[in-house]
């Protein structure tokens, strides 16, 4: 059996708080989903806003190889003819060959929300599907609130599905709209639907309000559903939709079922791409694709992994395009240090692994955190081994903060000296003292190291380590930098936020220069 994958990131996913896709964003995501092999992509509700209509127009011009475009909408309004319904006509005008329309299957919703009779609701479903079919569209019926409806009045919920089947729907998509059903309830209901409608394909659409969207989707597939709907990274309204980045590998790797996905190893890259476009980095804890999905911190875990990765990994990370990561912290033993050095491409010397371990633990007791700062850890090891000579030294700097028209402005001046003893003294403004210092440092270094011009700071985090000390507390600064291709993180700790920031900044820039030299040698 082949499980059909239906993506609704561009419609349901876009309803998540803080997410706002531009037209170009939507076009790029559609292209990536097609390349990955997604069967259906729901592009939105035609007629609701100009951008959605523009996307349907743009999709017609795209050379999509794997994906079928779907237009989303609802059944006709009560007490009017289907051919007079603006929503249904907008679906037809979209040019999409597939329509996915939702209708009520819960008697409570019919009476309380639609304010109509059960009989009229059945007619709305039947008329809408029939009209779209006669207009030349293929139709999926989204049975909204189906599982609540089935629990309340199973006879009527099945009658609603029957109305869609009689009118010619190709799919019955059972929607767990409120996200409150349990997996065993979903499985039982799907089995009942399969028994009643043996000749109609069944799909599942789940929300994550009880953190069970993936489990409910899998239960439905186990019970006979052959289509699963969801979003990349599980984004969406309220607590989100079923996460396709978990469902797809579960179906393929755990259940042994086929999909039309071309290359599962591209899954992690797809997750990161959508997260970047949505300006919402995927949580590092996401299964399969998260940055920490295969991260190991405890020394005993790492020691076992070195013997056999199956001891603490349920699949090989490379199967979904992810990678194993060893986190360095005060919980690390020698095995963790050795494995981490190997991961970073550094010769693992057992003779100094103990000293490195103790140094890491001592620094972490002072507030450092290397588990998310590989670049600072690599520089630390190279400094301890005498394998790294600083590219530059800061011989002095000053910060100026002025107030003008109730606004504060920052300026930094800095003096640096390179390995050859050449000195550069410069100044720069910034949005704040750290930004001004960062700008001045880059300006000074770019004369000696042009690669600095390609580096940008992509994230800056400050954490107070001892709140009880109030303004005298030590702080930890984590800086994420990128050259547009690679990214790396560095860390600095001090009771002075400027000093902590400067430590992390210097590590970041020295690491960038070191990487550039390394590439030049290759």
Measured between alpha carbons, how far is 16 from 208 in angstroms, rounded to an integer?
A: 12
pLDDT value of position 280: 79
In this prediction the pTM is 0.71
Any alpha helices (H) in 197-237, and if so which ranges?
213-223
7-11, 316-320, 344-348: least confidently modelled range:
344-348
The 10 Å CB-count burial string (b at 16+, else e) for 88-122 is bbbbbebebebbbbbbbbbbebbeeebebebeebb
Taking CA atoms, 47 is separated from 61, 87, 369, in Å, by 19, 7, 51
Give the Cα-Cα-Cα angle 128, 134, 135 (nearest 5 degrees): 90
Output the six-digit token pair for 151.
Answer: 């629990």
Question: Is 329 a residue whose pLDDT tops 60?
Answer: no
Residues linked to residue 6 through DSSP beta bridges, in sequence order: 40, 229
Q: Give 214 or 338, the one with higher predicted confidence.
A: 214
* 365-398 tens-digit pLDDT: 788 877 678 888 889 888 888 888 999 999 999 9
Considering only CA atoms, give the Rg of the chain.
28
Domain spans of the chain, in order of start: 4-277, 295-365, 377-391+449-522, 399-439
Question: Is 457 a residue whose pLDDT tops 90?
Answer: no
- Under the banding of pLDDT at 50, 70 and 90, the label for residue 232 is very high
* 475-501 tens-digit pLDDT: 888 888 888 888 888 999 998 889 999
CATH T-level fold of 377-391+449-522:
Double Stranded RNA Binding Domain (3.30.160)
Measured between alpha carbons, how far is 290 from 275 in angstroms, rounded to an integer?
A: 11
pLDDT value of position 58: 94
- Under the banding of pLDDT at 50, 70 and 90, the label for residue 301 is low
Measured between alpha carbons, how far is 479 from 462 in angstroms, rounded to an integer?
A: 9
Output the six-digit token pair for 223.
Answer: 């019970």
* 85-137 tens-digit pLDDT: 999 999 999 999 999 999 999 999 998 888 999 999 999 999 999 999 999 99
Query: Taking all residues of the chain, what is their mean pLDDT, rounded to a whole number?
Result: 89
* 8-44 tens-digit pLDDT: 999 999 988 888 889 999 999 999 999 999 999 999 9
pLDDT above 90 as % of the chain:
61
- Reduced to 3 states (helix: H, G, I; strand: E, B; else coil), residue 230 is strand
* 426-451 tens-digit pLDDT: 999 988 888 899 999 999 999 899 99
Q: Do 462 and 475 meet the contact criterion of CB atoms below 8 Å apart?
A: yes
pLDDT value of position 423: 93
End-to-end CA distance of the chain, in Å? 48
CATH T-level fold of 4-277:
TIM Barrel (3.20.20)
Question: Is 53 a residue whose pLDDT tops 90?
Answer: yes
pLDDT value of position 34: 96
Question: Is 321 a residue whose pLDDT tops 70?
Answer: yes
């Amino acid at each position: 059996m082949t499980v059909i994958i239906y993506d609704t990131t561009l419609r349901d996913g876009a309803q998540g708080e803080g997410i706002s896709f531009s037209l170009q964003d939507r076009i790029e995501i559609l292209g990536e989903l097609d390349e990955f092999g997604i069967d259906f992509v729901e592009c939105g509700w035609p007629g609701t806003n100009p951008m959605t209509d523009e996307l349907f127009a743009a999709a017609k011009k795209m050379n999509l190889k794997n994906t079928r475009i779907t237009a989303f909408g609802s059944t006709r309004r009560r007490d009017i003819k289907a051919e007079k319904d603006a929503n249904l006509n907008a679906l037809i005008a979209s040019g999409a060959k597939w329509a996915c329309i939702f209708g009520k299957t819960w008697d409570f919703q019919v009476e309380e929300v639609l304010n109509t009779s059960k009989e009229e609701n059945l007619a709305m479903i039947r008329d809408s599907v029939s009209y779209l079919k006669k207009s030349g569209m293929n139709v999926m019926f989204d049975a909204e609130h189906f599982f609540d409806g089935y629990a309340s009045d199973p006879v009527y919920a099945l009658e609603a599905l029957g109305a869609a089947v009689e009118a010619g729907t190709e799919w019955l998509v059972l929607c767990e709209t409120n996200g409150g059903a349990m997996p065993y309830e979903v499985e039982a209901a799907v089995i009942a639907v399969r028994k009643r409608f043996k000749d109609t394909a069944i799909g599942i659409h789940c929300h994550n309000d009880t953190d069970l969207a993936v489990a409910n989707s899998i239960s439905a597939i186990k019970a006979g559903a052959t289509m699963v709907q969801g979003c990349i990274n599980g984004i969406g309204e309220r607590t989100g939709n079923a996460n396709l980045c978990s469902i797809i590998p579960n179906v393929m790797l755990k259940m042994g079922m086929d999909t039309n996905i071309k290359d599962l190893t591209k899954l992690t890259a797809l997750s990161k791409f959508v997260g970047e476009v949505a300006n919402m980095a995927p949580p590092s804890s996401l299964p399969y694709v998260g940055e920490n999905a295969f991260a190991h911190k405890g020394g005993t875990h790492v020691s076992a992994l070195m013997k056999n990765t199956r001891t603490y990994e349920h699949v090989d990370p490379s199967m979904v395009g992810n990678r194993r990561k060893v986190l360095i912290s005060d919980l690390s033993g020698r095995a963790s240090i050795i494995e981490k050095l190997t991961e970073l491409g550094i010769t693992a010397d057992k003779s100094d692994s103990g000293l490195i371990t103790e140094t890491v633990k001592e620094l972490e007791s002072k507030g450092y955190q290397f588990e998310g700062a590989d670049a600072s850890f690599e520089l630390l090891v190279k400094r301890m081994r005498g394998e790294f000579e600083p590219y530059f030294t800061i011989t002095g700097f000053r910060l100026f903060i002025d107030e003008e028209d109730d606004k504060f402005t920052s300026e930094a001046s800095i003096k640096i000296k390179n390995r050859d003893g050449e000195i550069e003294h410069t100044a720069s403004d910034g949005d704040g003292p750290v930004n001004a210092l960062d700008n001045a440092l880059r300006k000074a270094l770019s004369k000696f190291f042009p690669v600095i011009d390609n580096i940008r700071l992509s994230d800056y985090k400050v954490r107070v380590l001892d709140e009880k000390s109030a303004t005298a507390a030590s702080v930890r600064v984590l800086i994420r930098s990128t050259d547009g291709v690679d990214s790396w993180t560095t860390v600095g700790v001090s009771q002075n936020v400027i000093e902590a920031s400067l430590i992390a900044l210097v590590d970041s820039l020295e690491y960038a220069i070191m990487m550039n030299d390394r590439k030049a040698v290759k």
